Structure 1
């Protein structure tokens, strides 16, 4: 989505769009100025969107292409990677596989969950910690895994930078939350919403 179109959508939704280019500056004053805008958005609205985040647009495009390729596969291929086969809550979630409220209809979307790749002998895996373990990968899509791992790493780096800004917005040292950003339990979740029925 181009930035002007994005800005119009955000204006309609009343979500602040914050240019975070200053967070990449070596100048603490510039980083603090952005952090103050982020802090205000968190206190006044609770959500915000970012622009100039530094994530490679070509990588973003490849993520969409690879996600489209995965979700376009025959159902049997996707079902072979169903999350039910994972001890780490990783892999494919089929259409209508999630219900968020008791008695509500199932969500009309399908998803794919990816986290940090951990070996079977990792202490966190051996301890049975939730959401820790190996991912399931589609073997027929050679570029899927490297693309998603690069994107997940880019998102984790961006999240850590934003946490530094939030720390500054609270008048804390910029590295205050850094320990919480290591060995994170973050999940990259790809979602596909097929055409919806009229009575959805």
Structure 2
């Protein structure tokens, strides 16, 4: 700036910045508009986990969101992290690859048990169904117990979802919209 200032006769001086009357909370709301909705949505998904575990995972999700991730990525990475994410005995969010039949076979019974269904879910991969078809059959099986499997749109080739009570499907979808996350009964 010094050289330009001398070349053009001192015309490059800027006035001091004006003080803003906006609070820090208002600035954070503007920068992270989905934070309250994301917190409520994460609490709804993690409702079956113990209080301390739920609080830890919600802090992880909000930290990821605060660092610049979009709400869906923050939720998925915060909860499904292999090292610091959810524990298997409190599984709330299921994530499998488009050919992750082995992972589904292992994780689906854990998810069913964690959501409170006493009956054991048994899946054997037969090779003829695609992952969306497997998940649709899983949803049909859950419907007999008053539960539904909701799919979360990650924008990738993985299938991520969670189980909710049948009477809470619409409420959960509305919470997801407030969080900036796309959720549906049908796979994406």
TM-score > 0.5, shorter chain as reference: no
> TM-score, normalised to structure 2's length?
0.26
> TM-score, normalised to structure 1's length?
0.25
Identify the structure with the greater helix proportion. Answer: 2
